[in-house]
Amino acid sequence: MKGTIVLSLATAASAAASHGHHKLDIRAANSTLPCASGVHMLVARGSTEAPGLGRIGVVAGNVSALVPGSTIEPVDYPATFENYSDSEAKGAAFFTKSIVDYTALCPKTKIVLLGYSQGAQAVMDSLCGNSESGFTVSADLPGIYDEYLAAVLTYGDPSHTVGAPWNFGTSNKTGIFPRLNITACEPYSDQIRGYCDTGDVYCDRGNNSATHGSYFKNYTKEATEWIVAKYTASLAAGNVTIGGGHSDNTTVSVPSSPSSTGASTPASSSSSTPTSASGTPVPTSAVGSMRPSFVAGVSAVILSVMYMAL
């Protein structure tokens, strides 16, 4: 998809107020614009949020304000409760294809992944493959992309799994779609931070619908600081120089109060097909059809949780 991505008026106004009228560089997939000289962020909104960045976009906006030359790309996927497994799989496939494509075109630019709710599950499935019960199994991202990823942030991930080393927040229970295989995520574990709090109806199987929307107020400053620190450290590590081929040393400072409102709103040049750590080819096109029985089962769970949240 080529073209201009337009933020909702509410999100644009919030971003301008939060960052001193800092202008966000929003890119469409397959953009022909120059590579980011800062960090390139892929952002997946939560279920039923309008197309664009969604509430998690506030974190991307904060990071963009602190890391000059950064770009933001909204993940283009349905984000629907209806046919949830198909919607989520399309989000994961978009992440995978965008990472592969972008690192091929811009191998000197670091990437940050962000996702909220269904978008968070899509982020994790792109990295770890889908191993959740009731979903079609998919491949994990090859470990060769580890050097390109500066940070991965999720809020309220339905595939939250107890014991994962990247877990943050107060939850000590698994989500409604717990990940059955977290070993596939290990190549990226140091770059991942996933927030889930007790009571969240999706990531904690709780009964407090308000908790699912509280991460923006409670953790955005902390998350922004962590992402910027991970980005700065990744430059110092020397795996990938700062985007656009620049090799200047970059120092980024974090203000005391970044925005926390959360207002609504391409890889190696080798011609061989990338494979996951398990040897499975990585999908770079649309995801195949879901098995009907799985779709029905997942839809039933989603609907039951929706009623709990009302």
8 Å CB contact between 296 and 83:
no
Backbone angles phi, psi at 116, to 5 degrees: -120, 130
* Mean pLDDT across 110-139: 89
Rounded Cα distance, 91 and 89, in Å = 5
Tokens of 174: 């698994």
What number is the average pLDDT over the span 203-224?
Answer: 97
Long-range contacts of 298-304 (CB under 8 A, 24+ apart): 298/84, 298/85, 298/134, 298/135, 298/177, 299/81, 299/82, 299/83, 299/84, 299/85, 301/134, 301/176, 301/177, 302/81, 302/84, 303/81
Q: What is the pLDDT of residue 29?
A: 65
The residue ranking higher by pLDDT, 228 or 306, is: 228
Q: Output the average pLDDT for the chain.
A: 76
Q: Is the pLDDT assigned to residue 287 strictly greater than 90?
A: no
Band the pLDDT of 260: cuts 50, 70, 90.
Answer: low
Select from 135, 116, 28, 26 the least CA-distant residue to 76.
28
Does position 265 have pLDDT exceeding 60, yes or no?
no
Q: Which residue has the higher pLDDT, 120 or 180?
A: 120
What's the mean pLDDT in 134-154?
Answer: 84
Distance CA 67, CA 287 (A): 33
Share of the chain above pLDDT 70, in %: 67
pLDDT at 246 over 70: no
Domains present along the chain, CATH in parentheses: 9-309 (3.40.50.1820)
Q: Which residues of 270-289 are buried (b: 16+ CB within 10 A; e: fewer)?
A: eeeebebbeeeebbbeebee
* pLDDT of 106 higher than 50: yes
pLDDT of 196: 98
Q: What is the reported pLDDT for 30?
A: 61
> What is the reported pLDDT for 184?
87
pLDDT of residue 21: 53
Summarize the confidence of residues 274-303 as an average pLDDT: 37
Residue 200 phi/psi, 5-degree rounding, is -60, 125
Percent of the chain at pLDDT exceeding 90: 54
Q: Are the C-beta atoms of residues 265 and 13 closer than 8 Å to each other? A: no
Residue with tokens 């007790």: 198
Contact 224, 262 (CB under 8 A): no
- What does the pLDDT look like over 4-49, one tens digit per residue? 333 332 333 344 344 445 678 777 666 667 899 999 999 999 999 9
Q: Which residues contact 186 (CB under 8 A, 6 or more apart)?
A: none
Q: In which band, very low, low, confident or very high, does the pLDDT at 92 lie, cut at 50, 70 and 90?
A: very high
Task: Look at residue 169 and tell me whether its pLDDT is greater than 90.
Answer: yes
User: What is the per-residue DSSP string for the chain?
Assistant: --S-----HHHHHHHHHHTTTPPP-B--TT--SPPPSSEEEEEEPPTTPPSSS-TTHHHHHHHHHHSTT-EEEE--S---STTHHHHHHHHHHHHHHHHHHHHHH-TTSEEEEEEETHHHHHHHHHHH----TTS---PPPPGGGGGGEEEEEEES-TT--TT-TTEESS--S--SS--S--GGGGGGGGGEEEE--TT-TTTS--S-GGGGG-HHHHHHHHHHHHHHHHHHHHHHHTSSPSGGG----------S--------------SSPPB-TTSPBPP-S---PPPHHHHHHHHHHHHHHHHHH-
